[in-house]
Chains A and B, each alone.
Chain A
Amino acid sequence: MMAYGSPHTSVRGHEGQGKVMELMYEMEMAAEDILTDKQQIIDLDRKRQKTREAIRVLSKDHKSDKHWVCVGNMFLKLPAARTKTVLNEDFNKLDGEINSLRTNLKQKVNKLRDLEMKEDIKGFNLTPLSKSDLQHIDNYF
């Protein structure tokens, strides 16, 4: 007879429920964030690979001095050198974006683990060892 959210429910019960909901909300947000980032990395990598293919094709083609470039929904004809520059800039930009996404991803995963009351995954914030460093322990791995 009493509706679930009726005003006669004890205030403390409501508070507890609210807190759980809040926590779940935060967890879902954090998880969603991570999944979005992962998907974005995939999309950026796809673009990066295509850009790389284009750069390869252009570097082998020495005949034509102008190339068709599709920008948004327009087709432009650009001189060869210019096209190469644009593509290289694109490639570097994509590279940088992917790397920064990956670095941020680690922090986001730790934040999610924190919300889930799990311990942080240790060690991923360390600077990676260089090749010469690895010589000291490389054989073991």
Chain B
Amino acid sequence: MAVPTADKVQEIREVTRIERIGAHSHIRGLGLDDALEARNVSQGMVGQVDARRAAGVILEMIKEGKIAGRALLIAGHPGTGKTAIAMGMAQALGSDTPFTSIAGSEIFSLEMGKTEALTQAFRKSIGVRIKEETEIIEGEVVEIQIDRPATGTGAKVGKLTLKTTEMETIYDLGQKMIESLTKEKVQAGDIITIDKATGKITKLGRSFTRARDYDAMGAQTKFVQCPEGELQKRKEVVHTVTLHEIDVINSRTQGFLALFSGDTGEIKSEVREQINGKVAEWREEGKAEIVPGVLFIDEVHMLDIESFSFLNRALESDMAPILIMATNRGITRIRGTNYQSPHGIPIDLLDRLLIISTVPYEEKEIKLILKIRCEEEDVEMTDDAMTVLTRIGMETSLRYSIQLITTANLVARKRKATEVDVDDIKRVYSLFLDESRSTQFLKEYQQEFMFNELSQTDTGTMETS
């Protein structure tokens, strides 16, 4: 799922990036207008008006920073847009707000304990905004003149002429600067940046006006335009890092590499406390801003009673992000106990939650959603085919009919057609079974399957509604 989060960086290869079309990639936002009313079809969202409006109100509270430490539960039948609403909220918040998305079962791993996994997820959702400022001198080198003293033992002296489109000036060079320039092999025509504080020289490339100087140049030569404006610029960069990233960098010597390899392991609580102290100090001094983000836990019924107790406590902390949970279970057993509870969540946690419920879609809405998915997956369909697909969606499930879109497209392409027609849909319908037909098939042929233990009393145990 292409969710914009501060995720681990994947292996970098020099291949053009293929945009993955995920199940929710057509969602651009919640589709609300200025009065927070949900438009029926907007930004990829269709129908589900009440849930979207509620989500919109929550979103406004998040933006104003007024909901830190609160939690939200989106509950409804499978295939009613729970994850879609969470995705819409993520897109609407923008890239500046940290949005972490995990599935309930992800916290169970051999590498780290459940509370550690949850703490990391929480801290990945809190951003810290900081600013770096430097004065730099950026310009095109017109001329470098370095004189070695005649006696052979004296210091070298030099002059560097730099220019931009607006001005030109000469700098006297000291010993160290001459060394740096020689090391970087700076020549006339190069565009360089000199950091005033550190004296570091960075080559940005060669000037376009010098492109014709030589007939053959190295493969690494980059051509850049002559810089504009003043020579001595003030460069300010604003970064938003998550608390988790700061934790990892500080938890061991080569800490920052762990961010890329994913092997973060358990982080000591002393390190975390130190970081909290430092960030609080920066807040006091006006050097940092806390950006509370959103942690989305899907399939939250997979968490067990210990994790829920942890969540209770974690939500009380003053630097807690907004927690959004989603589940499609009804009254289920809480994992780790023998008690039943709505959605498989203990009552004390349920008490702290704002609950949004999603309702199953109507036929018109399913048709619109399918149309949007067709556009997203670049599939042309005849109107008849669309009607058939909508019927299938109504009778089986929305997800199943979405799956049929690409498969039907492939079948259509095989017979050299550009549009998907009713026959293609019929074909894939017969090829791929949906959940109810599959269960039917199982019941009829249960004797033939290996390890079949389906007894007559054991039907319909899973509460999925």
A and B from one complex: yes
Assess the A45–B230 pair: CB atoms within 8 A.
yes
Which A residues touch B259, using CB under 8 A? 140
Contact A128 B236 (CB under 8 A): yes
Interface hits, A13-43 → B, CB 8 Å: 38, 41-42
Give the chain A neighbours of B249 by CB distance below 8 A. Answer: 136-137, 139-140
Judge whether B166 is part of the interface by a CB distance below 8 angstroms: yes
Cβ–Cβ < 8 Å partners of B167 in chain A: 42, 45-46, 49
**B395 is an interface residue with CB less than 8 A from chain A:** no
Contacts of B130 in A (CB 8 A): 123, 126, 129, 137
B131's partner among A49, A99, A126, A137 (CB-CB below 8 A) is: A126
- A141 on interface, CB distance cutoff 8 Å: yes
Contacting residues, chain B, for A137 (C-beta < 8 A): 130, 241, 245-246, 249
Contacts of A99 in B (CB 8 A): 234
Structural contact, B238 and A124, CB atoms closer than 8 A:
yes
Does A73 lie at the interface of the complex (its beta carbon under 8 Å from any beta carbon of B)? Answer: no
The answer to whether the Cβ of B273 comes within 8 Å of any Cβ in the partner chain is no
| Inter-subunit contact B172/A128 (CB<8 Å) | no
Cα of A5 to Cα of B287 in the assembled complex, Å: 54
CB distance from B227 to the nearest CB of A (A): 12
Contacts of B239 in A (CB 8 A): 141
In the complex, chain B residues whose CB is within 8 Å of the CB of A133: 282, 287
Chain A CB within 8 A of B231 CB:
yes
A134: Cβ under 8 A from any B Cβ: yes
Residues of A within 8 A of B (CB-CB), count:
28
| Closest Cβ neighbor of B94 among chain A residues | A119
**Known contacts A42-B166, A127-B285; is-contact A49 B96 (Cβ 8 Å):** no
- Flag if A42 contacts B229 (CB, 8 Å): yes
Taking a contact as CB atoms under 8 Å apart, the answer to whether B131 and A129 are in contact is yes
Find the B residue at minimum CB distance from A99.
B234
Contacts of B250 in A (CB 8 A): 136
Is B132 a contact partner of A128 (Cβ separation < 8 A)? Answer: yes
Q: Find A126's partner among B169, B230, B231, B287 (CB 8 Å cutoff).
A: B287
For chain B residues 127-172, which have a beta carbon within 8 Å of chain A? 129-133, 166-167, 169-170, 172
Which residues of B sit under 8 angstroms from A42, Cβ to Cβ? 166-167, 229-230
Interchain nearest-CB distance for A76 vs B (Å): 24
Kindly state whether residue B256 has any CB partner on chain A within 8 Å.
yes
A106-126 interface (Cβ within 8 A of B):
122-124, 126
Could you tell me if B169 and A53 are in contact, using CB atoms closer than 8 angstroms?
A: yes
Q: Are A124 and B236 in contact (CB under 8 A)?
A: yes
B177 CB to closest chain A CB (Å) equals 14
CB distance from A46 to the nearest CB of B (A): 4
> How far does the Cβ of B127 sit from chain A's closest Cβ, in whole Å?
11
Total contacts A to B, CB within 8 angstroms?
84
Find the A residue at minimum CB distance from B165: A42
Shortest CB-to-CB span from A91 to chain B, Å, is 12
Contact partner of B232 (CB less than 8 A), chosen from A45, A124, A140, is A45
Kindly provide the distance from the CB of A87 to the nearest chain B CB, expressed in whole angstroms.
Answer: 15
**Nearest CB of chain A from residue B170's CB, rounded to whole Å:** 6
Q: Which residues of B (287-336) have their CB < 8 Å from a CB of A?
A: 287-289
Verify if B278 is at the interface (C-beta below 8 Å from A).
Answer: yes
Distance in Å from the Cβ of B94 to the closest Cβ of chain A? 8
Q: How far is the CA of A48 from the CA of B240 in the complex (A)?
A: 34
Among residues of A, the one whose C-beta sits closest to the C-beta of B238 is A123
A52 close to B (CB within 8 Å)? yes
The answer, yes or no, to whether B460 is at the interface (CB within 8 Å) is no
**Is the CB of B346 closer than 8 A to any CB of chain A?**
no
Which chain B positions have C-beta within 8 A of A124?
131, 236, 238
Tell me whether A102 is interfacial, beta carbon within 8 Å: yes
| Interfacial chain B residues near A134, Cβ < 8 Å | 132
Q: Is the CB of A126 within 8 A of B255?
A: no
Q: B218: CB under 8 A from chain A?
A: no
* Residue A77 CB within 8 A of the other chain: no
Which residue on A lies nearest to B259, using beta carbons? A140
Q: Say yes or no: A128-B133 contact (C-beta < 8 A), given A45-B231, A48-B232, A53-B170.
A: yes
Do B229 and A129 touch (CB < 8 A)?
no
Indicate if the CB atoms of B238 and A122 lie closer than 8 Å. Answer: yes
Q: B232 contacts A126, CB within 8 Å?
A: no
| Contact status A56-B131, CB under 8 Å | no
- Within the complex, what minimum Cβ distance (angstroms) separates A62 from chain B? 15
Measured between alpha carbons, how far is A50 from B132 in the docked complex, in Å?
A: 28
Q: Which residues of A contact B230 (CB under 8 A)?
A: 41-42, 44-46
Interface residues of A (CB under 8 A from B): 38, 41-42, 44-46, 48-50, 52-53, 56, 99, 102, 122-124, 126-129, 133-134, 136-137, 139-141
Known: A53-B170, A126-B129. 14 other contacts (CB 8 A): A41-B229, A46-B167, A49-B167, A50-B169, A53-B169, A122-B238, A128-B236, A128-B287, A129-B282, A133-B287, A137-B245, A140-B256, A140-B259, A141-B239
19 A-B residue contacts at CB 8 Å?
A42-B229, A53-B169, A102-B234, A122-B289, A123-B131, A123-B289, A124-B236, A128-B132, A129-B131, A129-B132, A129-B287, A136-B278, A137-B241, A137-B249, A139-B249, A139-B255, A140-B249, A140-B259, A141-B239
Closest 5 pairs between A and B when the two form their complex, measured CB to CB: A45-B230, A123-B238, A128-B133, A49-B169, A126-B131
